[in-house]
Chains A and B, each alone.
Chain A
Amino acid sequence: MSGRAAVVHDLALEAYGFGGDHPFNPLRIRMMLELCEALGLLEDYAFVVSEPATDEDLTAVHSLTYVRLVQEAGRGGGDFLDLMHYGLGTGDNPIFPDMHDACARVVGAVLEACRMAMRGDAAHAMCVSGGLHHAMRSRASGFCVYNDAGVAIARLKEEHPGIRVAYLDTDAHHGDGVQWMFYDDPDVLTVSIHESGRYLFPGTGGVEERGRDGGVGYSVNVPLEPFTDDGSFISCFDAVVPEVLRAFEPDLILSQNGCDAHALDPLTHLSATMRLYEHIPRRVHDLAHELCDGRWVATGGGGYDIWRVVPRAWAALWAAVSDQELPEIVPDDWLALRSAQSPVELPRLMRDDPTDYPPVDRAAEMASRNRRTTEQVLEKVLPLIH
């Protein structure tokens, strides 16, 4: 283990996006990297460039028919009814040119990040293009075409027989795709903390979804009340994550760091701030050192306020991955670069001012409901993990 962190990225990864005014916009990746650079967080870090995932990689979790159809769709082909059946060409998952190539590159990047961590080429690795957690075996879903975490975990299992991977998902949406892919597998622990499916896509992720057959106990779900704030989110995270990870004893932690639980996010109803996005990766960093010699791969995920939230949240993620201090001020250079284009006023500080985010009504009631949810998880799921 070199002790260094790695960023897996190249410009080609920014081709994964749906164009027009679709909420999933790869400009957020560009802006996040520009912000890191302006903050001085990328000094001496050369981007690691990776190969696209092969068909063999992809079919570790996806059906070949689906992969062939995505390839055809990206070339402008595919029968309309077939495409619909596989979730392609819908409002959420429109077809875009060369979509197979763009998404296979994202998967390849996350796979390379995982292999680097396993080889010890890097202590920790980050690929913010990854985190496409809704993609199913034979279906595009929720802006996700291929499931990067799913492929990476399945390939690691082939390359390192007996490996135990902890997948930790703090996106505001339930990490359903990854959960279902490993639902009966006791060597893959999936943990998802998200806004309750009663109120938000994809609607699943209740505490009672605990895994199946030999994998019972190895799917952990913490559904949170709408308008949950930093304090309650952090106490749920701290109550559940260290306990379940310690019980599981992973060889690698793969985290999905969607930042759409932020109060400004337009697609969800949670009320977190930058405090959460500094806390989570610092905690995961500590746990990776405590439990698995530091082997930790961090990906991005959701995040739809691409101006005020995503660049800062993932800059904080990179600061934690690379073990650097997060500066306080958003550099003028970056503001000058992006202000004119931004439809909203860009923040001047890296951290949010709590007075800008007053507690919502019923905050105490929500916190106590969330507390009961974590108690259920600790009583009913934790004891099943070995």
Chain B
Amino acid sequence: MLLVKDSMTREVVMLAPQATAGEALALCREKRIRHLPVLEEGRLAGIVSDRDLRAATPALGDPDRAEALGKILVSEVMAREVATARPDDPIEEAANAMRERKVGCLPVVEGEALVGIVTSSDVMEALIYLMGAHEPGNRLEVVMPDRPGTLAGVAGIFGELGINIVSVVAGPRHPLPDSMESGRVAVFRVDTMDLRSTVDILERAGYAVLWPPGP
């Protein structure tokens, strides 16, 4: 479920290269979006953002603005080098591409066809689902020794207590408190109101509970 095709918007608002800057800005306002892919003969020819359009046109209040908005064409403003994603790319790859290229969205192409668009808001939504933040749960951050079987150890403790795991994100290195051993941190969301014995048992088993924090 964490692929680009699961998070992308399928109904893409797009433009022809001959559209004017004024038309493009009006479209951004009306649809409340910031990026417009530009299509020429069914193929992705470029992309233009509301920021590019504003930068290329006289400022609000400038007497030349109205004329310029009607004269400047999208093809003159758009970026022709477009970073794209494919529907089956993992969402984290798309996120990394956006971060590397410093862009807020990626048109999604399958062969020649534009099939969707994925934006940084879509990545944020995927993060919410990944962390289970839309489902009831209690957030727990645990540092585990960095060796095989320790994540299973934490999960086993939840299992024995009859506590279901809503989500788990594990990985980043984190020092294991009071130990020479290196550790990794995991963020769990667990479906329980009562964490009293859980935290105790985890700590006695050699894990460090970073969250919820103490007083």
CA–CA, A199 to B138, complex, Å?
Answer: 7
A223 CB, min distance to chain B CBs, angstroms? 13
Whether B100 is near chain A, meaning CB under 8 Å from some CB there, is no
B residues contacting the other copy or chain, number (CB 8 A): 22
The answer to whether B215 touches A226, judged by C-beta atoms less than 8 angstroms apart, is: yes
The answer to whether B139 touches A202, judged by C-beta atoms less than 8 angstroms apart, is: no
CA–CA, A227 to B164, complex, Å?
Answer: 27
Indicate which residue in B135, B139, B215 contacts A361 across the interface (CB closer than 8 Å). Answer: B215
Contact residues of A between 211 and 235, Cβ < 8 Å to B: 226-227
Identify whether the interface residues of B are mostly helix, strand, loop, or mixed.
loop
The answer to whether A201 touches B215, judged by C-beta atoms less than 8 angstroms apart, is: no
The answer to whether A266 touches B196, judged by C-beta atoms less than 8 angstroms apart, is: yes
Which residues from chain B contact A269 at a C-beta distance below 8 Å?
Answer: 212, 215
Indicate which residue in B192, B196, B212, B213 contacts A92 across the interface (CB closer than 8 Å). Answer: B192
Whether B162 is near chain A, meaning CB under 8 Å from some CB there, is yes
Which residues from chain A contact B191 at a C-beta distance below 8 Å?
Answer: 87, 90, 92, 141
Interface size class of A (residues with CB under 8 A): 20 to 34
Which residues from chain A contact B139 at a C-beta distance below 8 Å?
Answer: 197-199, 203
Whether A267 is near chain B, meaning CB under 8 Å from some CB there, is yes
Contact residues of B between 173 and 195, Cβ < 8 Å to A: 189, 191-195
Contact residues of A between 63 and 111, Cβ < 8 Å to B: 84, 87, 90-92
Indicate which residue in B136, B189, B212 contacts A134 across the interface (CB closer than 8 Å). Answer: B136
The answer to whether B212 touches A23, judged by C-beta atoms less than 8 angstroms apart, is: no
Known: A92-B194, A134-B136, A204-B136. A227 touches B215 (CB 8 A): yes
CA–CA, A23 to B197, complex, Å?
Answer: 12
The answer to whether B136 touches A143, judged by C-beta atoms less than 8 angstroms apart, is: no
Identify whether the interface residues of A are mostly helix, strand, loop, or mixed.
loop
Whether B210 is near chain A, meaning CB under 8 Å from some CB there, is no
Known: A90-B162, A141-B136. A199 touches B193 (CB 8 A): no
Whether B163 is near chain A, meaning CB under 8 Å from some CB there, is yes
Whether A312 is near chain B, meaning CB under 8 Å from some CB there, is no
| Nearest-neighbor residue (CB-CB) of B161 within chain A | A91
The answer to whether B215 touches A360, judged by C-beta atoms less than 8 angstroms apart, is: yes
Whether B82 is near chain A, meaning CB under 8 Å from some CB there, is no
Known: A92-B194, A142-B193, A267-B194. A201 touches B163 (CB 8 A): no
Interface residues of B (CB under 8 A from A): 133-139, 161-164, 189, 191-196, 211-213, 215
Q: Other than the known A23-B193, A203-B133, what 19 A-B pairs have Cβ atoms closer than 8 Å? A: A90-B162, A90-B163, A90-B164, A90-B191, A91-B161, A91-B163, A92-B191, A197-B139, A198-B139, A200-B212, A201-B137, A202-B136, A202-B137, A203-B136, A226-B215, A267-B193, A267-B196, A269-B212, A361-B215
Top 8 nearest A-B pairs (CB, nearest first) are A91-B162, A202-B136, A201-B138, A199-B212, A201-B193, A142-B193, A141-B136, A92-B192
